[in-house]
Structure 1
């Protein structure tokens, strides 16, 4: 269990630190909706406040529901991650790393929810301002990468089991 906790604490702490530092920079150095071009026609840093979940889902629901929902889900998700982590074998390093990214991302966004009641988003990809992707942050990237890695690991594990039968 010691190795699992080392992975969890080191990776999730790094994710949380980078996430919170970048959000602090944007929150203190940018005005709301201010945008600075990084790569012309493709990538900006744009300060957005996300009151919902990914892509602003649930942003229009009543504030009481949103606050209860978004303040209760991350602790539940983190508890589930700890439970899954507990059940992993010591050699399942890739799964530990993926779960640690998800854990760190969940905590990073949870800190925003507790502190501001919204999440600071700022990574803004678009194509000539015609095709845009909703703004996101480092915590979101960590969650998506962790989930994608877990899906890949589950799929390849199933393939290996199928090949053995």
Structure 2
């Protein structure tokens, strides 16, 4: 089955950004900062926080210049390279194309928040007990993580004939 690379990429990126931004707007409009709501008991909680740093708040105490370089400019350059890679690599299989598109969509949405709000809205928290406890995250983080796992599975676990997505 031949898929249109441009359409697939655009749809995945736009839908990812839309779901992430709508969820963040909803949380900011329906939660008080720091408020928690149980979704599935104490296992899955929504808690509204604003993250001025990167993953788990790392870098939130950087100077404004370093904050700009490492949390705005560098991610933007990396995302630009990933977009370039998508459109110049004629041998991308479907799974990899969707994976890279999820990474771009999630990354663009969080970088957008950093440029517009100077922080990122996070609100999901999972605690399955023991060592499995997450930091607070958002839909964009889920998209990026899902994309990374898809790439790992596509490239290392499934050594099968790949279907190439064409222009």
Distance in 2 of aligned mates of 1:50 and 1:91: 34
TM-score by length of 1: 0.86
In the alignment, is the contact (CA less than 8 A) between 2:72 and 2:115 conserved in 1? yes
In the alignment, is the contact (CA less than 8 A) between 1:4 and 1:90 conserved in 2? no
Corresponding residue for 1:133? 134
Give the number of the structure whose residues are more often helix, by fraction: 1
Distance in 2 of aligned mates of 1:122 and 1:100: 23
Indicate how the Cα distance of structure 1 residues 75 and 131 shifts in structure 2: closer, same or farther if over 3 A, else same.
Answer: closer
What secondary structure does 1:134 align onto? coil
Q: Which runs of 5+ in 1 are unaligned?
A: none
Corresponding residue for 1:81? 82
TM-score by length of 2: 0.85
Corresponding residue for 2:41? 40
Q: Which runs of 4+ in 1 moved over 6 A?
A: none
Q: Which runs of 5+ in 2 are unaligned?
A: 162-167
Distance in 1 of aligned mates of 2:108 and 2:24: 13
Distance in 2 of aligned mates of 1:57 and 1:4: 35
**Is residue 28 from structure 1 mapped to residue 29 from structure 2 by the alignment?**
yes
Distance in 1 of aligned mates of 2:136 and 2:150: 22
Deviations 1:79-126 (A, max 9, x none): 111221123336611111111000100111012111110100000112
In the alignment, is the contact (CA less than 8 A) between 1:45 and 1:123 conserved in 2? yes
**Is residue 17 from structure 1 mapped to residue 18 from structure 2 by the alignment?**
yes
In the alignment, is the contact (CA less than 8 A) between 2:102 and 2:143 conserved in 1? yes
